[in-house]
Amino acid sequence: MILGRTERGKAPIEPVTLKILVAGGFGVGKTTLVGAVSEIKPLRTEETLSEAGRPIDDISGVEGKTTTTVAMDFGRITVREDLVLYLFGTPGQDRFWFLWDELATGALGAVVLADTRRLEDCFAAVDYFERRHIPFVVGVNCFEGAARYPADSVRQALDLDSAVPVVLCDARDRESVKDVLIDVVEHAMKLAASRRAAATAT
């Protein structure tokens, strides 16, 4: 075998690696999403919710939640032979938002997970990515028992730009999550192309 060539005579493919953030409110399903799609054992930084944290952490609507992410979740998925995504799940509570700037460094784009029962919980994430011009997709996590709303209704409630994709998903389902991640990559690439075209035209 010739050095640097595969047995079939083809040069090995060096995949492009991209960083994607998974953000949203407390208990919206970020850890679940990363775990559902990661091809490696996800790195999790979860701690048990304590009595001391109850006055700080609003668990309304997620009373059954017993743990919380205190730093990040990390996972990896190979979308194609030439494309690998590294997923970084952000902590949802206000007191851990100081970590977001570091996690966002170098990110191609983000998924903002939303729960229609607590839609206001994702306002901060939407605002964060809008202000920093980081492309994002809103993934509406379809919890059992939660009312289903059309994507346009969610877009209007969040006051999103018409170009921001809003998709319904199940954070527990690998294929559903994979579709959302592909949407993020395509959206970010499209925005990057339009920005390059605008810069060239000026």
Which of 36-45, 90-99, 137-146, 193-202 has the lowest average pLDDT?
90-99
| Domain 16-201: which CATH number of 3.40.50.920, 3.40.50.12780, 3.40.50.10800, 3.40.50.300 | 3.40.50.300
Prediction pTM value: 0.80
pLDDT at 188: 97
Q: Reduced to 3 states, what is the DSSP secondary structure of residue 196?
A: helix
| Two structure tokens written together for 101 | 């700037």
Q: Write down the mean pLDDT value for the chain.
A: 84
With a pLDDT cut of 90, the percent of the chain lying above it is: 61
pLDDT at 3 over 50: no
pLDDT at 106: 96
Q: Which one has a higher pLDDT value, 41 or 43?
A: 41
pLDDT at 53 over 70: no
| Two structure tokens written together for 152 | 């346009």
pLDDT at 27: 87
Choose among 196, 199, 132, 188: nearest CA to 163. 188
Going from N- to C-terminal start, the domains of the chain cover 16-201
Q: Reduced to 3 states, what is the DSSP secondary structure of residue 38?
A: coil
Q: Which one has a higher pLDDT value, 146 or 46?
A: 146
pLDDT at 119: 93
Contact assessment for residue 147 and residue 44, using Cβ atoms and an 8 Å cutoff: no
pLDDT at 58: 55
- Residue-wise pLDDT for 91-144, tens only, equals 866 666 678 899 999 999 999 999 999 999 999 999 999 999 999 999 999 998
